[in-house]
Amino acid sequence: MYELLFWRYLDEIYLNHHEVYEALLEKEEVEGLETLPVEVIFNRIASVFSEWEKVDENSWQNTKGKGAFQVISTPQSIKIDCYGTEGKTMNKLVALMEEFKCPLYDPQVPERYDEMSE
């Protein structure tokens, strides 16, 4: 499994990314993060991946190739667990979340890919 996590800071807020990640995994509310339009994001994912089989409310499987992913949300975050998913598919998910101004936090590295990162 490969984990992708997305959130958006309030203006002028910048927190320790790993601590934010850990809090979001525990489904805690994090002061300094915006509330996301979760339903709109899910609809966008369903639209972009309409060729994929929707396994359940939160999961998609590529019936014409490799990979599957599950989307887990809190009011402040979107976590996407990728299973055997190709890099180009993960890049498509990252680009989709950038539409909502939510840069990727990659806990495997760990690094957040936004303009504030060094």
Tens of pLDDT, residues 49-71: 999 999 999 999 999 999 999 99
What global pTM score does this model have?
0.94
* CATH code matching the domain that covers 2-113, chosen among 3.20.20.80, 3.30.479.30, 3.30.465.10, 3.30.310.250: 3.30.310.250
Residue bearing the bigger pLDDT, 115 or 104: 104
pLDDT band at 117; cut points 50, 70, 90: very low
Could you tell me how far CA 92 lies from the centroid of its own chain? Answer: 11
Domain boundaries, the chain: 2-113
Q: Tell whether the model's pLDDT for residue 108 goes beyond 60.
A: yes
Give the Cα separation of 46 and 101 in Å (integer): 18
Three-class SS of 30-92 = CCCECCCCHHHHHHHHHHHCCCCEEEECCEEECCCCCCEEEEEEECCEEEEEEECCCHHHHHH
